Structure 1
């Protein structure tokens, strides 16, 4: 198993993993369709990055770091295939993302989530994310919690 960075050949994996996750727990919003349909435009070009977990040439997980403003990035679009869940792959991606952000000397990471995802929120807190007030016009109608991790 290895963590690899975005390449155009993984764009469909990024989209499919996230749509499957969203449809399982919530719904696909217009903002999701834009970002998932064109990750190069919405994530990579503005300065963000996407990581994938690859096992035997198959992409089994992904996460994105999307630029919000200079040195502040949203940790978003994390998804793991059902077959790979329970193997702490999400935590490996979380550690990799935090290490990457620290190397880049970013100030903080932001996460929008939903309180019904108790396991995810537990993991975010385990890695030091703290709940902060969520703005009314947050990018996701399903978002009811916002968390941040100060890196410096």
Structure 2
């Protein structure tokens, strides 16, 4: 066990698989002990059918929480062994129902004593243990149903990578990055327009000097994302969130989310009540991000951009 102790909890899958393999090997021996010719992997399906009811493969899969293909394969193997019979469902001819054959039902009597003895053996192991494995498994299953291990790891990965991100106020030293990052994404999906060149060529004149702000995201010290907050002369809105761009090399690290949050917080600090933005529904990840930040669709405003086909607002 030194290898697994050294790896620690990151090897939980391998450790559980090793325990499963050990118990499964013993299960095969237990069946032989009681004169039962059955594979351990068949047991959940066998037990579900041992209650005497006809069932569909879909129903069995749902009951024992296995995949449909897995249950279907086991049923095929048990039919070949002669333990299961299959026929068309009388209520729905498109479906097949299965049940234990006489040969399969005979096993239900032979296996009863093993239930008693295995249960007693497991109880003895539990009595010698400091932890209730069965209860722990139930707790883990419940928690993983709420949020999968994959999703939890993605969250941890994102949080770790976010620690490498630094958000700073724009300075002229980042003008080239501000322009290049925006030109890159605009040119990838659309075409540069006159309004783009005005803001990107002279952000001081068209954004900062008019009461706006630009936030720059640094990843490991390098500028990889930008977002502007443009002051609006509009009775309905205080600022426009615009010119958000993140380098493709760091997309998926949550930098857009951090920039959006920072810009909205900047707007709140200025006493703003509403923030406006323009986008295009072709940019699905961006639209998803805006919704996550609290933006909702609005209509009926004049825009200087040909590519704009959706307008949104965020009430702060």
Which of residues 259, 273, 286 in structure 2 aligns to 1:120?
286
User: Does residue 139 in structure 1 map to residue 304 in structure 2?
Assistant: yes
Q: What does residue 47 of structure 1 align with?
A: 211
Distance in 2 (CA, whole Å) between partners of 1:31 and 1:134 is: 20
Q: What does residue 19 of structure 2 align with?
A: none
Distance in 1 (CA, whole Å) between partners of 2:179 and 2:266 is: 22
Cα RMSD of the aligned pairs, angstroms, is 1.2
Higher helix share: 2
Q: Which runs of 5 or more structure 2 residues have no equivalent in the other structure?
A: 1-164
Which structure is richer in relative contact order (CA contacts within 8 A, separation 6 or more)?
1
User: Does residue 130 in structure 1 map to residue 296 in structure 2?
Assistant: yes
Aligned pairs, number: 150
SS of residue paired to 2:268: helix
Q: What does residue 263 of structure 2 align with?
A: 97
Specify the structure having the higher radius of gyration (Cα): 2
> What is the deviation of 1:134?
3.6
Q: Greater shift after overlay, 53-62 or 37-46?
A: 53-62
Q: Greater shift after overlay, 83-92 or 123-132?
A: 123-132
TM-score (norm 1): 0.94
Higher strand share: 1
Which of residues 58, 69, 72 in structure 1 aligns to 2:238?
72
Q: Which runs of 5 or more structure 1 residues have no equivalent in the other structure?
A: none
Q: Is the contact made by 1:61 and 1:81 (CA closer than 8 Å) also made in structure 2?
A: yes
Distance in 1 (CA, whole Å) between partners of 2:300 and 2:183 is: 24
TM-score (norm 2): 0.46
Instruction: Please identify runs of 4+ aligned residues in structure 1 that moved more than 3 A.
Output: none
